[in-house]
Amino acid sequence: MRSLCLPCFAKVNLRLHIVGRRPDGYHELRTIFQTISLHDELELELRRAPGIQLECDDPSLPTGRENLVYRALHLLRRELAVKTGVYARLRKRIPVGRGLGGGSSNAAVALIGLLRLLRRRPPVPRLLAWAARLGADVPFFLLGGTALGIGRGEQVFPLPDMPRRTLVVVSPSGLSVNTREAYGWLAPRLTKRPADPTVFTFCALCWKRWSGGLANDFEPVVFRRHPRLRVLRRALLRRGAAEAALAGSGSAVFGVFPNPAQARRAALLFPDDRVFVVQTIARETYRRALGLHELL
Closest CA to 215 of 10, 15, 47, 3: 15
Q: What is the pLDDT of residues 200-225, one digit of tens each?
A: 455 544 544 445 689 999 999 999 99
Distance CA 125, CA 63 (A): 29
Active-site residue flag, 11: yes
In degrees and rounded to multiples of 5, residue 29 shows phi and psi of: -115, 155
Same domain, 23 and 134: yes
Contact 232/59 with Cβ under 8 angstroms? no
CATH of the domain at 180: 3.30.70.890
Q: What is the pLDDT of residue 200?
A: 46
Same domain, 30 and 134: yes
Same domain, 78 and 120: yes
Same domain, 32 and 117: yes
| Active-site pick, 137, 161, 217, 273 | 137
How many domains in the chain? 2
CATH of the domain at 139: 3.30.230.10
What range does the domain containing 123 cover?
Answer: 3-159
Give the contacts of 288 (CB within 8 A, at least 6 positions apart).
none
Q: What is the pLDDT of residue 202?
A: 53
In a domain, 199, yes or no: yes
Contact 97/51 with Cβ under 8 angstroms? no
Contact 251/99 with Cβ under 8 angstroms? yes
**What is the secondary structure of 34-51 as a DSSP string?**
EEEEEEEEEEEEEESS-S
Same domain, 274 and 204: yes
Q: Of the residues 135, 159, 183, which one is the last residue of a structural domain?
A: 159
At position 252, the amino acid (one-letter code) is: A
In a domain, 49, yes or no: yes
pLDDT by 10s per residue, the chain, length 296: 689 999 999 999 999 998 877 777 778 889 999 999 999 999 999 998 889 999 999 999 999 999 999 999 999 999 999 999 999 999 999 999 999 999 999 999 999 999 999 999 999 999 999 999 999 999 999 999 999 999 988 899 999 998 999 999 999 999 989 888 888 887 655 544 444 445 545 554 454 444 568 999 999 999 999 999 999 999 999 999 999 999 999 899 999 999 999 999 999 999 999 999 999 999 999 999 999 998 87
Give the contacts of 190 (CB within 8 A, at least 6 positions apart).
18, 19, 20, 21, 27
Same domain, 251 and 133: no
Question: Which pTM does this prediction carry?
Answer: 0.92
Distance CA 147, CA 63 (A): 30
Same domain, 141 and 13: yes
In a domain, 291, yes or no: no
Same domain, 245 and 125: no
Q: What is the pLDDT of residue 98?
A: 95
Same domain, 73 and 147: yes
- CB atoms under 10 Å from CB of 199, counted, come to 14
Same domain, 28 and 152: yes
